[in-house]
Amino acid sequence: MIRIVKMTFKEDKVQEFLKIFHQNKSHIRNFKGVEALELLNDKNNPNIFFTYSHWKSEEHLNIYRNSELFNTVWNSTKVLFSKKAEAWSVESIIKLD
């Protein structure tokens, strides 16, 4: 399962978000059930970021979403938003190599 989260930050809070992400990225990446994690930045809007993560299952994602790690990172991050975050859980239908 793939999880995509779009986050729009206050322009003056981008560096603070990046610091939080870098401090926690290895903990998130090593959380049980995480198969891959990427942080993407919109080319035309430097205050818009996406996390793109692969999970073994929706159950693994839900365990993470109820964890202390998620609560700590999310509570520190969401106060930096200029808009409410958007999130999608998707599945790959066709993969072209």
Domains in the chain (CATH in brackets) are: 2-90 (3.30.70.100)
Is 70:58 a contact under the CB 8 Å cutoff? Answer: no
Taking residues 69-75, report their average pLDDT. 97
From 12-16, 69-73, 80-84, 93-97, the region with the lowest mean pLDDT = 93-97
Residues 57, 66, 40, 90, CA torsion sign:
positive
pLDDT of 97 over the 90 cut: no
pLDDT at residue 40 in the model: 98
pLDDT at 68: 97
